[in-house]
Amino acid sequence: MRNLVKYAGIGLLVLGLAACDQKKDDAAGSNGASASQSAQTVNLMEGKLSFSLPAGMSDKSGKLGSESTNMHVYADETGQRAIIVIAGDPTNEALDALSQRLEQQQRSRDPQLQVVSNKAITLKDQPAQQLDTVISANNQTSWSSVILAKVDGKLLTLQITLPADNQQQAQSDADAIVKSITLK
């Protein structure tokens, strides 16, 4: 669990720094370019995890994570839209208990955190837990969907972070990514 918190903290730090550095005019310019690119399927953990990577996002793992650290980062050029995948240590803890603990830790770091939902879901017949939150920092709002699941007894964390200027659109985009997740 400490590694999960450490990696989630690193992920939030990276996204926070990217959000601070991002300019509004950059976001407007990148939207048109990303619409012309097509989505691709990402396969990780020897094919045991796959999901659709939205258009405009690419693998940034070389800068922030690697196969050896079990952390993969996918983001757009602005860093505003990101997916972080962490293959953690084996755990016997229930997913709902892990999700509650993650929610409490996020609340302690961000008193303005808005929890939209913390619920059990099924990903292609595999149990998982989904924690949806809205985070506000530096006059910017982000939608975050964290998916917790187990693959071969190891904790898998997938965090989707999107700008939430339009919260309904951000939620819809995150849900599309979540629905594309396949676990084996």
Domain boundaries, the chain: 2-183
Strand pairing category for 82-90 and 71-75: antiparallel
Strand pairing category for 140-151 and 49-53: unpaired
Token pair listed for 130: 């989904």
Return averaged pLDDT per consecutive 10 residues of the chain, 184 residues in all: 48 44 37 50 92 93 62 92 94 96 93 93 94 90 96 94 95 96 92
Q: Are 3 and 88 in contact (CB under 8 A)?
A: yes
Token pair listed for 1: 């669990």
Q: Are 75 and 83 in contact (CB under 8 A)?
A: yes
CATH label, 2-183, candidates 2.40.30.200, 3.40.1000.10, 2.60.120.1030, 3.40.1170.60: 3.40.1000.10
pTM: 0.78
